[in-house]
Amino acid sequence: MENKSRRKFLQNTLTATAAITIGAPLLKTQNLFATEKVADFFQFVQIKLPYSYAALEPSIDALTMEIHYNKHHTAYIKNVNEAIVAEKINFNNEHDFFANVSKLSAKARNNGGGAYNHNFFWESMSPNAGKMPSGKLKKAIEASFGTFDKFKDTFSSAAATRFGSGWAWLIAADGKLKITSTPNQDNPLMDVAADKGIPLLALDVWEHAYYLKYQNRRTDYIANFWNVVNWEKVAERFGE
């Protein structure tokens, strides 16, 4: 009898645990890169590039990729972690960091954004890409933008018209998909962002992202970006 009730208790506990796991909001917990804890607070971590520098040729050339990853991104990571230590910034994860970014220094905001955005950007691309989205994501894109081509046009235009340096984003917000752009290294997770939401896809339109190969032709860079979008990753971020 005692064994039986213990078994019953364990069974109930397991069911409860499973329910919590399944019920957890998927979108809130993904897109996190920084898991390394130094002392009691997190620091940003640069992900390993998921492909070689030359893998996205000819859309993105190897030299741009190498400088972008190895110099620009590495510097953002180093600088934000310096700011975290110097300013005793104490958050558990990137989402909390960005949700409070208006209270932080310009160094923390700019380099924190740069650290996260580039991790996100590398994973947004893949050498075995060029396919269309499918399934739930395709349906959501059509529901929000009409057709996939209209979505592409709107995103491309947001990227082309972002004045100066910044990013174009596809985000999930209020049960819909939206396109937005941010200046500098801001992102839609930041409390200062005009359009806040969960990032699904990003394009870096800083000149350092394309100037070596495309010079002033940002629109050519944007057009070729569609050849290397990792739709599987975007679908995964969407919760598929």
Question: Which residue number, 122 or 206, has a Cβ lying nearer to Mn ion?
Answer: 206
Residues 6+ apart with CB under 8 A from 212: 61, 63, 64, 67
Of the pair 61, 142, the CB lying nearest Mn ion is at 61
Shortest CB 134 distance to Mn ion, Å? 29
Minimum distance, C-beta of residue 121 to Mn ion, in the bound complex (Å)? 7
Stretch touching Mn ion by CB under 5 A, among 25-33, 76-84, 148-156, 206-214: 206-214
The residue number whose beta carbon is nearest to Mn ion equals: 204
Residue 60 or 140 having the CB closest to Mn ion: 60
Q: Which is nearer to Mn ion, 94 or 204 (CB)?
A: 204
Q: Stretches 57-65, 79-87, 197-205, 222-230: which one binds Mn ion (CB under 5 A)?
A: 197-205
Q: Pick from 94, 123, 186, 204: which binds Mn ion (CB under 5 A)?
A: 204
CA atoms within 13 A on the CB side of 131: 15
**In angstroms, what is the minimal distance from the CB of 79 to Mn ion?**
14
CB of 186 or CB of 204, closer to Mn ion = 204
Determine if 206 is a binding residue for Mn ion (CB under 5 A): yes
Q: Which stretch binds Mn ion (CB under 5 A): 77-85, 155-163, 198-206, 227-235?
A: 198-206
CB 144, CB 176: distance < 8 Å: yes
Give residue for tokens 């075995």: 128
Listing DSSP states for 70-103 in one string gives IIIIHHHHHHHHHHHHHTT---SSHHHHHHTGGG
Segment interacting with Mn ion, rule: CB under 5 A, options 36-44, 126-134, 161-169, 209-217: 209-217
Distances (CA, A) of 196 to 95, 126, 134, 173, 178: 12, 26, 25, 7, 10
Q: How far is CA 57 from CA 53, 79, 127, 128, in A?
A: 9, 29, 8, 11
**Judged by CB, which is closer to Mn ion: 43, or 119?**
119
Contact 221, 58 (CB under 8 A): no
Cβ closest to Mn ion, residue 24 vs residue 106: 106
Instruction: Give yes or no for residue 186 binding Mn ion (CB under 5 A).
Output: no
Quote the CA–CA distance of 66 and 70 in Å, as a whole number. 6
Give the count of residues interacting with Mn ion (CB under 5 A).
Answer: 3
C-beta separation of 185 from 121 below 8 A: no
Using CB under 5 A as the binding rule, whether residue 123 contacts Mn ion is answered as: no
Radius of gyration of the chain (CA): 20
Quote the least distance from Cβ 118 to Mn ion, whole Å.
6
Q: Is 152 helix (H, G, I), strand (E, B) or coil?
A: helix
Residues engaged in binding Mn ion (CB under 5 A): 204, 206, 209
